[in-house]
């Protein structure tokens, strides 16, 4: 009962991100399988499984980086959103891993980083990570992105994902859908980078994805300073849904997927199921 309660508590913290559910369920199975053993053995097996998940994530990030770098245009000028680097994953990241490998391969020219309101993950986290990697970048406000695309200063957009449904719809940090629409209008490819654990085959489309709602204070205040009048009504979803029609490719640790996504994603289902039953380093 305590294990179920703790597992459900972890799941409830991020209802949109399916990777959390996958990891919690995997650790739960490990604990149940070792439940009849001594507390010491139980703890050792849980720690071993946690380290295995971390190691797998590191390798998945590496593979995503290599695969994604190969589909970026030459002299890539890339716009990215939110944070998808080592601060968000167990390795070099998803979309940011692609940028890292592209930079090391002399394929990347410049990165534009959305500040990512309201919590500013782009400004606070991605900007710092790019600085540490020595990758040239420019920080922009979210509302500048469309004008940047209109000016031809971007030739690719790449984001991460919190959940991908069976038809290829993508849940990611709010603002991602707007970028996809803008990229489509301006003829710029819109790429999504995510491990296969982000794919939720149980959901047919993005309409089924629960969207986490955030506190209005994240919008009405910045660093504890109120910027909006008291009493204003706020709508602040943490994520939005990008329809699969707007996605140029999905970069995974099992290859680059193209439309029709229902078919290309389904081809991964059997292998993903096998990996979950018999975890191994990819």
Active site residues: 162
The alpha carbon of residue 273 and the mean position of all alpha carbons in its chain are separated, in whole angstroms, by 21
Planar angle of CA 238, 123, 134, nearest 5 degrees? 130
Closest CA to 203 of 150, 239, 241, 254: 241
Residues 6+ apart with CB under 8 A from 248: 189, 190, 191
Q: Which residues are CB-contacts of 263 (< 8 A; sequence separation ≥ 6)? A: none
CA-to-CA separations, 279 to 19, 53, 94, 133, 224, in angstroms, rounded: 15, 9, 20, 31, 44
- Helix or strand run (H / E) with residue 214: none
């Amino acid at each position: 009962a305590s294990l179920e309660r703790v597992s459900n508590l972890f799941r409830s913290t991020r209802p949109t991100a399916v990777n959390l559910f996958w990891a919690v369920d995997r650790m739960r199975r490990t604990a149940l399988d070792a439940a009849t053993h001594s507390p010491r053995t139980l703890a050792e097996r849980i720690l071993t499984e946690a380290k295995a998940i971390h190691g797998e994530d590191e390798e998945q990030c590496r593979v995503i980086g290599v695969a994604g770098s190969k589909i970026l245009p030459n002299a890539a000028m890339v716009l990215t959103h939110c944070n998808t680097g080592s601060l968000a994953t167990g390795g070099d990241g998803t979309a940011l891993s692609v940028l890292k490998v592209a930079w090391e391969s002399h394929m990347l020219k410049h990165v534009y980083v959305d500040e990512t309101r309201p919590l500013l993950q782009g400004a606070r986290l991605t900007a710092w990570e790019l600085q540490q990697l020595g990758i040239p970048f420019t920080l922009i406000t979210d509302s500048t992105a469309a004008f940047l695309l209109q000016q031809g200063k971007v030739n690719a957009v790449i984001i991460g994902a919190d959940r991908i449904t069976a038809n290829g719809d993508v849940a990611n940090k709010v603002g991602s859908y707007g970028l996809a629409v803008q990229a489509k209008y301006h003829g710029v490819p819109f790429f999504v980078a995510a491990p296969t654990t982000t794919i939720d085959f149980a959901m047919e489309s993005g309409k089924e994805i629960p969207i986490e709602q955030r506190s209005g204070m994240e919008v009405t205040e910045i660093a504890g300073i109120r910027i909006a009048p008291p009493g204003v009504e706020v709508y602040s979803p943490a994520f939005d849904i990008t329809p699969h029609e707007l996605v140029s490719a999905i970069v995974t640790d099992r290859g680059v997927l193209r439309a029709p996504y229902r078919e290309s994603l389904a081809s991964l289902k059997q292998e993903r199921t096998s990996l979950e039953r018999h975890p191994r380093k990819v």
